[in-house]
Amino acid sequence: MFDYNQILYTLENPNKNGILIFVIGFLFALSFYHILLFIQNKDKVYFYYGLYTSLILLAYLNLISTGFFALIVKPFLPILNSFEVFLKWLFAAVYFIFAFEFVELKKYSKKWYKIIFYSIYGVIAIGCVIQVISLIIKDISYIFNCYFLVYIPVISIISFIGYYMLFKMNHPLKHYIIIGSLVLFVTSIIGAAISFLELLPLENRLRDSIFYFGVIIENIFFSLGLGHKQKLIYEEKNKQKELRLQAILEAQETERSRIARELHDGVVQEIGSVILKSRHALSKLDLLHTNESQELLESLENSNKNLRTISHQMMPIALKELGISSAINDLLENSLTYLNIKHTLELFNISERLPEKIEVTIYRVLQELIHNITKHSKATEVNVQLFKSNNHIILIVEDNGVGFNAKKSKKGIGLLNISSRLNMLNGTVNFESSNNNGTLITIKIPVI
């Protein structure tokens, strides 16, 4: 059974039984971690949060009264006691700077941003002046009384304005700030009221336990909010990266089409014309059947054939006019037949044209895979399957080659290009390969 008297005693003496030590350690970890995040990301929100938690930590160090940490703090007690109220003054002000930078108030309303921030800077300036006066007259009660009679009312007004702005704003992370700060605001007011109105004896530190509870809950919410913010930033960076990659790939396809068209309609036609004129000229001179003439014409015809092949590879006519099935068949015939690699193509449930982006992606991915097979695999047989199943287009490419180390090969440029193209369509690729056992590659692309 719970010993309620013991629990009450623990809460009334949090600075002697480890509660404060736990809170100090918690705040130190948060401060250190978020300062590191600031150094890494150069985002001042992390700096303000690290500063905020550091100031809370410093404001309550002087209350540690037992154990090893009390011995460490003891030499600094005179300074910490002199600045205790001022540190509380500062951390509450820095909280507002952090909170409204976190929700990007400036983007929402420059007017309210200036009003709130000028008010906060003014409060900090007033606190600095009062702290200096307290040090000069050597009377800490002066800043103590100002804290309750001036600072608390002013900061409460700023809080109400801040909550009003937060509820009006359309920010995906504002609820972390609202819930966390509301918990701390309520616990701070309760603790301050108990202290200022002397509702409990001075040695009863229940007010501190209430505040520590608020600090822990608040900073759990703030840390979750910052983690969520980091996640959103990461997702946005990935999105921008994908958009840039998509723009590059689209530009490449456009340029491929342009070059292929120029080759097919320009250079190929011109060489064909040159071949006809050469035949005509050589026949008039009765030189058409000489060895030199035959070699010249064969060389021109081979060049013309190679250019036409390159043109078709860059942007196959079959892909544009007949669809992915005919384009794949042409690709296999032109790439594998002359190398004496047997190939089979199996099509299931592909009865109509697919979206253009999917067809181009499948073709380019298969083109890259066939290139790798002919260059590295030493395969003698290749099987390609393309089918539609459960709103997915599935491409399976299997060979009987020497295989490869899938983990190492995934870092290659060719396979990275495949992954990049598939990522843009939310597609996936799976490699199954081992030395001397061939390779099985499965690609899935969702069709909406």
136: left (phi over 0), alpha (psi -120 to 50) or beta: alpha
Helices (H) and strands (E) in the chain, counts: 18, 5
Confidence at residue 31, expressed as pLDDT on a 0 to 100 scale: 93
* 3-state SS record for 244-269: HHHHHHHHHHHHHHHHHHHHHHHHHH
DSSP state of 149: I
Which residue type sits at 331? Answer: L
What parts of the chain have a pLDDT lower than 50? none
Which domains does the chain show, CATH number per domain? 4-243 (1.20.1070), 317-448 (3.30.565.10)
Tokens read off for 73: 């703090």
- CA angle at 354 for the pair 353 and 355, rounded to the nearest 5°: 125
Confidence at residue 195, expressed as pLDDT on a 0 to 100 scale: 73
CA nearest neighbour of 161 among 191, 187, 123: 123
pTM of the entire predicted model: 0.63
The Cα 108–Cα 102 span in angstroms is 12
The Cα 306–Cα 75 span in angstroms is 86
Confidence at residue 86, expressed as pLDDT on a 0 to 100 scale: 92
β-bridge mates for residue 384, sequence order: 345, 397
The Cα 277–Cα 281 span in angstroms is 6
Confidence at residue 442, expressed as pLDDT on a 0 to 100 scale: 93
Any idea how long the chain is?
448
Model confidence pLDDT, tens digit, residues 107-148: 888 888 888 889 899 999 999 999 999 889 888 888 888 888
CB atoms within 10 A of CB 310: 15
For the chain, give percent helix, strand, coil, nearest 5. 75, 10, 15
- CA angle at 262 for the pair 257 and 263, rounded to the nearest 5°: 100
- CA angle at 386 for the pair 381 and 387, rounded to the nearest 5°: 145
Model confidence pLDDT, tens digit, residues 46-100: 999 999 999 999 988 888 877 777 888 888 888 988 998 899 889 888 988 999 9
Confidence at residue 189, expressed as pLDDT on a 0 to 100 scale: 81
The phi, psi pair for 205, rounded to 5°, reads -100, 30
Confidence at residue 268, expressed as pLDDT on a 0 to 100 scale: 59
Confidence at residue 289, expressed as pLDDT on a 0 to 100 scale: 66
Q: Which helix (H) or strand (E) holds 439?
A: strand 439-446
Distance of CA 221 to the CA centre of its chain: 21
160: left (phi over 0), alpha (psi -120 to 50) or beta: alpha
Query: For the chain, what is the radius of gyration of the CA atoms?
Result: 37
Confidence at residue 151, expressed as pLDDT on a 0 to 100 scale: 85
Confidence at residue 97, expressed as pLDDT on a 0 to 100 scale: 92
β-bridge mates for residue 344, sequence order: 383
Confidence at residue 269, expressed as pLDDT on a 0 to 100 scale: 65
The phi, psi pair for 345, rounded to 5°, reads -125, 125
Asked if residue 349 lies in contact with residue 388, where contact means CB atoms within 8 angstroms, the answer is yes
